[in-house]
Structures are given as structure tokens and as C-alpha cells.
């Protein structure tokens, strides 16, 4: 599990935290999370040659997921599946291609769980773990990448254990440990990290743990910081309704 996350952030970390792309990536990120998809897509495509290929894949698939799956009341599942297929085409031979494949697998797993395609989700989990095993990263993470490394490690730990049978002895303990790790990362000074943590924690507590009490503060923060995101407003309303 750790091998894949290490490899992925060896590609991503310097781009997110230490390169001249910082302000551009954050602007695209802010437009996307305020649901200005056309503007975000235009910025992304216009600057494709100036953005690392793995980071470009992350922004592309995340935007497609928001635009076509989670951020709309009229989802276009075929459009998202097509975007996934385009980003995943061919057998990943190079490390860059493997990193991109790992990115798309993470979204594919979320998508399949959201649509209750549990058999496919189990298969995707197996493919992801097989790719973990095949990777042999031999570098260490720079300090600036540690938060995102911890976040995605915790996310994989949670969903890897979530898919295990209920009778597995350490399932609950491992899920709780993953949630604890993400909760600590909510204090991040990085807007991108804090946004991702808030969304993942809010959705996990609300949709998977059925605990609106623990979810509400994350959607309050997201609604405050991305006031044009209708989905954050709806999720906050859902929490408040359950807390009445």
C-alpha cells in the first residue's frame, strides 16, 4: 500500500508544493471546487504543456468526477467512464504511466462504490494492490509531500478495509486508525490538502459511517471557503437535517 503512494507523490509532491506551477494549479483547483468547470477546463487544457503529466491526469479525472458524477444532480456516467478509459488506455509500462493508472484506479474505486458496483470495486481493489506490489520506488519523500502521502495512505487504508468482510477482526480498528490520521491532517496550512481532507472526511463520516455529528464541521468549512459549490451546500443541509 505504501509503495504506490510513495511513487505517486514522488511525481506529484514537487509540483504541488515547490514548483512554479503552484499558483496555476491552485487557481485551477479553486475554479473546479467552485464548480466553474468550463473555466477550469480551459485553463487546464491551455496550460497542458506546462503541467506535469501525472498532475494533469489528477486534475483531469478529478474535474470529470466532479462535473459528471458527484457535483451534479444530472450525472453523466458514460462521460466519466470515457474520461477514465482515455486516461487509462494501454498497459502502463513506465513509472509515469503506472502513476497515472494508480490515479485513475483510485477514482474508479470511488465511482464503483458510489454506484454500489461492489463486485467491480473488489476487482479494482485487487488490481490496485497488484500494481502496488509491482512497483519498486527507491526514493524517499521530501518533507513537503508528507501530508499528502499520509492522506492518501489513510484513504487507501480506509477503503481497503471497508471492502473486507464484516467478520475480519481488524477491519474496524484499521478504519478508525485511517480516520484518525485524516483528522490530524485537517489542521494543514495547505489549502489544497485541507480541502481534500475536509471533503474526504465529511463524505466518509456522512455516507459510510452514518455520523452527521462528525461530518458537519467539514462541510461548514467547505461551504464557507467554496461558497459557489452547490454540492457542499447540499451536503451541509443534509447534515443539519439529520442533526435536528
Across the chain, which has 244 residues, the per-10-residue mean pLDDT values are: 52 48 82 96 93 81 94 94 86 71 84 91 85 56 58 80 83 93 91 88 95 98 96 96 94
| Residues 6+ away with beta carbon under 8 Å from 48 | 56
Q: How far is CA 75 from CA 29, 106, 135, in A?
A: 21, 19, 34
> CA 165, 171, 174: angle at the middle one, nearest 5?
150
Closest CA to 153 of 214, 106, 100: 106
Give, as one character, the DSSP assignment of residue 186. T
Give the C-alpha separation, 126 to 1, whole Å.
12
Q: What angle do CA 226, 228, 232 make, to 5 degrees?
A: 65
37: CB partners within 8 A, 6+ apart: 31, 63, 66, 67
Q: DSSP alpha helices (H): ranges in the chain?
A: 2-17, 22-33, 37-46, 53-65, 77-88, 95-114, 118-134, 146-162, 171-185, 191-203, 212-225, 230-242
Residue of 210, 207, 124 lying closest to 163 (CA atoms)? 124
Domain segments of the chain as ranges: 1-141, 143-244
pLDDT of 50 reads: 86
Amino acid 55: pLDDT: 76
Task: Check residue 95 and give its pLDDT.
Answer: 66
The domain defined by 143-244 carries CATH number 1.25.40 = yes
Single pTM value for the model:
0.79
Q: What is the pLDDT of residue 154?
A: 83
Judged on CB neighbours under 10 Å (0-12, 13-18, 19+), 56 is buried
Per-residue pLDDT, 67: 96
All 3 cell numbers of residue 84? 477514465
User: Residue 53 has what pLDDT?
Assistant: 78
Amino acid at each position: 500500500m505504501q509503495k504506490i503512494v510513495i511513487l505517486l507523490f514522488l511525481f506529484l509532491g514537487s509540483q504541488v508544493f515547490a514548483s512554479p506551477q503552484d499558483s496555476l494549479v491552485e487557481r485551477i483547483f479553486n475554479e473546479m471546487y467552485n464548480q466553474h468547470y468550463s473555466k477550469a477546463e480551459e485553463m487546464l487544457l491551455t496550460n497542458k504543456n506546462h503541467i506535469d503529466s501525472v498532475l494533469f491526469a489528477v486534475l483531469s479525472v478529478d474535474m470529470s468526477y466532479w462535473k459528471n458524477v458527484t457535483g451534479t444532480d444530472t450525472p453523466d456516467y458514460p462521460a466519466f467512464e470515457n474520461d477514465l478509459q482515455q486516461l487509462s488506455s494501454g498497459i502502463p509500462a513506465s513509472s509515469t504511466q503506472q502513476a497515472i493508472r494508480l490515479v485513475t484506479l483510485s477514482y474508479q474505486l470511488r465511482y464503483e462504490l458510489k454506484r454500489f458496483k461492489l463486485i467491480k470495486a473488489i476487482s479494482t481493489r485487487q488490481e490496485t494492490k497488484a500494481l502496488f506490489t509491482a512497483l519498486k520506488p527507491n526514493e524517499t519523500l521530501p518533507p513537503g509531500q508528507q501530508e499528502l502521502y499520509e492522506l492518501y495512505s489513510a484513504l487507501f487504508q480506509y477503503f481497503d478495509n471497508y471492502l473486507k468482510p464484516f467478520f475480519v477482526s481488524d477491519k474496524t480498528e484499521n478504519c478508525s486508525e485511517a480516520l484518525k490520521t485524516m483528522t490530524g491532517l485537517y489542521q494543514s496550512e495547505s489549502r489544497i490538502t485541507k480541502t481534500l481532507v475536509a471533503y474526504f472526511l465529511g463524505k466518509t463520516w456522512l455516507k459510510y459511517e452514518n455520523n452527521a455529528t462528525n461530518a458537519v464541521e467539514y462541510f461548514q468549512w467547505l461551504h464557507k471557503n467554496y461558497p459557489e459549490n452547490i454540492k457542499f451546500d447540499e451536503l451541509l443541509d443534509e447534515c443539519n437535517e439529520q442533526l435536528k
